[in-house]
Amino acid sequence: MEKAVKQVIQQGRVPVKIWTDDVDSGAMEQLINMSKLPEGIVHQWIAVMPDVHWGMGATIGSVIPTIDAIVPAAVGVDIGCGMMAVETNLSSQDLPDSLREIRHSIERDIPLGAGGAHRNVPVDKFPWLDEALRSMSLTFSNLKGIGDKAKSKRWAQQMGTLGSGNHFIEICLDKEDRVWFMLHSGSRGIGNMIGMHFIAQAKKEMEKQGARLPDKNLSYFTKDSAKFAEYVNAIAWAQDYASENRKAMMASIVKNVKHAIPKLETRGENINCHHNYVSVERHYDKEVYVTRKGAIRARKGEMGIIPGSMGTRSYIVRGKGNPESFESCSHGAGRTMSRTAARKRFSEKDLAASMERIEYNHRKSIIDEIPSAYKDIDQVMAAQTDLVDIVHELRQVVSIKGD
């Protein structure tokens, strides 16, 4: 297997292995701080993917294996955020000359934006909700400060909704002109609520213990903490919610496109993968909690999705199971500038030029998602040839973003 690690930083208790030379100073500081966590917390090293950039709480693009401990801020607040992709039997020739009405139809059916929610959500519309109602009550009933809010209808109304920021829905074509549907979303408001609650609880717990950390955002729960089991149960629930949320939206996309193109059928196995989550795995003869913050699992033969920015290529990949990356790869292109900086630098005209021949909603509010605000996806892919093989290359013909 070819060697692709570009940098090994050794300024803490464990090394930081990085699959790129392109690391901003803020992200590098975060990574070094993470490597300074107390002895015995991080297993072996921290693996850093080529889409790495500074993130709230912890570095995006990092893979952190921990022993009997989890850092809630490393997981973040969009718990279970990830991708889903479905191949169809359609080709580009089956699509209408104008894709605007298909875009409008999807946008009418799937609420967009940070507060997006269905007005009325019958339980039978999303089968997973019925069981979730019961599990939610058990999972959150004893969580002080979150239980009552979690029992509200709001989280149920957000099942099957997109969210904001870089969350998106796309209709794509592969190199053989076959049509794919792809989307990016997570656990919506309830995941945010869970994340914020436990990040605050971890900080309180560290303060009580008098722990001296390089960054308070790296506060953690150890397995002997009463909060540890609560957090593990809550994030498992949120990760399931995120996965089901993507399935619900994909079903809506298929329904709306099938209405316009009745011959539509999906084929092959759907790909549904998290890239902000925790998983119990075995690496280097040790069972550990692997936190992937902006990274996907890439076990040998495992299928995954690495999207570029809106207006650029995306990739369906097959994992190589590289042990050095803890069987992980990048989750996308990775930002090169903040949203604020992108809004100051670029205009709606710039966005339109980069989205030529793609059907999208021309809105000023999505300028910060312009492709120029992201790394070159081809360079990101070239940096991880030892982590994944490319199976399909996709290009967008429809792009739908939340505000």
- Residues noted as catalytic: 331
Three-state secondary structure readout of 19-59: CCCCCCHHHHHHHHHHHCCCCCCECCCEEEEEEEECCCCCC
Q: Is 308 annotated as a binding residue?
A: yes
Q: In the chain, how long is the greatest CA-to-CA distance?
A: 65
Q: Is there a binding annotation on residue 170?
A: yes
With b meaning 16 or more CB within 10 Å and e meaning fewer, what string describes 245-284? bbbbbbebbbebbeeeeeebebeeeebbbbbbbbeeeebe
Q: Which two three-digit tokens encode residue 268?
A: 């092959």
Ligand-binding site membership of 91 (annotated): no
The verdict on whether residue 276 carries a ligand-binding annotation is yes
Flag whether 260 is marked binding.
no
Instruction: Round the CA-based radius of gyration of the chain to a whole number and report it.
Output: 21
Identify the helix (H) or strand (E) that includes residue 348. helix 348-354
Whether the CB-CB separation of 350 and 372 falls below 8 Å is answered with: yes
236 is in an annotated binding site: no
DSSP code of residue 349 = H
Q: Is 372 annotated as a binding residue?
A: no
Q: Is 169 annotated as a binding residue?
A: yes
> What do you get for the CA distance between the two ends of the chain, in Å?
42
Contact 402, 163 (CB under 8 A): yes
Q: Could you tell me which of 284, 400, 387 has the C-alpha nearest to residue 331?
A: 387
Q: Is 348 annotated as contributing to ligand binding?
A: no
Q: How far apart are CA 195 and CA 199, in angstroms?
A: 6
Read off the amino acid at residue 249.
M
120 is in an annotated binding site: no
Q: Is 309 annotated as a binding residue?
A: yes
Helix (H/G/I), strand (E/B), else coil: 225: coil
The answer to whether 259 is annotated as binding is: no
What does DSSP assign to residue 112?
-
The answer to whether residues 114 and 316 touch, using CB atoms and an 8 Å cutoff, is no
β-strand 388-401 against 359-360: which pairing, if any?
parallel
- Is 166 assigned to a binding site? yes
H or E segment and range at residue 157: helix 154-157
310 is in an annotated binding site: yes
CA dihedral 145, 146, 149, 150 (to 10 degrees): -160
**Residue 15 assigned ligand-binding role:** no
List the binding residues for GMP. 166-170, 275-276, 307-310, 314, 331-334, 401
List the binding residues for Mn(2+). 78, 167, 184, 275
List the binding residues. 78, 166-170, 184, 275-276, 307-310, 314, 331-334, 401
